[in-house]
Each structure stands twice: as C-alpha cells, then as structure tokens.
Amino acid sequence: MTSVVSTIRDLARRSQAAAGAKDREGWLGLFADDAVVEDPVGPSPLCPDGRGHRGAAAIARFYDNVIGRAERMRFEIERSYLCGDEVADVGAIHITLPGGKSTRVRGVFTYRGDGAGKIAALRAYWEFGNRDH
C-alpha cells in the first residue's frame, strides 16, 4: 500500500481524534493553508453560501463555531474506502451539546490529501435537520 493512501486515512483518524479531544491546535495543524472544509456540503445554517470554509482563518472560525461549541464529540466509523489520495468514511458523529443534549449525525465524511502530508479538503455529506436524536 502506498504511503499517500496510508497517510490520508491516518490524517482522517487524527482529525477525528483531535475533534473528539477538543484539541483545537492539533486539529487545525492537520490542514493545508489553502484547505477547504465543507461540513455539510452545500448551503446550510453553518455555511449559508454553500462554498465551504476556505483557508486557515475560515477553518479556525469553523472549529470555534461548530466543533469547539460541542461538549463532547465521538466518531463511529462503520466503513472506510480508500481511493488514491482520498478516503471516504461512512458512519456517525455522536455529539453532546451544551446543556447535555445529545445528537447523532450519520453521514459520509471524505478527506483529500495534498500530497505533502496535510488535509486539502474535508467534505461531510449529511442532511441538516435529519439527525438521530
């Protein structure tokens, strides 16, 4: 197996672990300077224009406004598919919100590497408002 394929799956797991550990700097450090985070893909209350969060400053704001606001976050990956320098994870994110309310977001989470050991794109496919509670 090539190191690029192994690296992007490893980066995806490191991203998920850092989000779960509330390790802001560790999570942000996984992304290339010109990376994009689309979570979810397309227009939503988290990104009204649907273009995603592009670049380090925008990704940091996404972390602060979304990941950083959760009390707890745990990824449950059921299947993972490697293709070139990309990986698609199928599963759920279990989130505990402020005040103790919990939710589960099922989806497909894709990560694309930049060829230099960083994440170039994180794209999450899930339906806003269609979550398991």
| pLDDT bucket at 7, cuts 50 / 70 / 90 | confident
pLDDT tens for 9-43 read 999 999 999 999 999 999 999 999 999 999 999 99
The CA distances from residue 51 to 36, 47, 57, 85, 127, in Å, are: 9, 7, 15, 22, 16
The predicted structure's pLDDT at residue 5: 42
| CATH no. of 3-125 | 3.10.450.50
pLDDT tens for 76-128 read 999 999 999 999 999 999 999 999 999 999 999 999 999 999 999 999 999 97
DSSP state of 47: B
The predicted structure's pLDDT at residue 106: 96
Do residues 4 and 113 lie in contact, with contact meaning Cβ atoms separated by under 8 Å? yes
pLDDT at residue 133 is higher than 50? no
pLDDT tens for 42-79 read 999 999 999 999 999 999 999 999 999 999 999 999 99
Share of the chain above pLDDT 90, in %: 89
Q: How do the domains of the chain map onto residue ranges?
A: 3-125
- Give the integer Cα–Cα distance in Å for 35 and 52: 10
Residue 66 burial (10 A CB sphere; 0-12, 13-18, 19+): middle
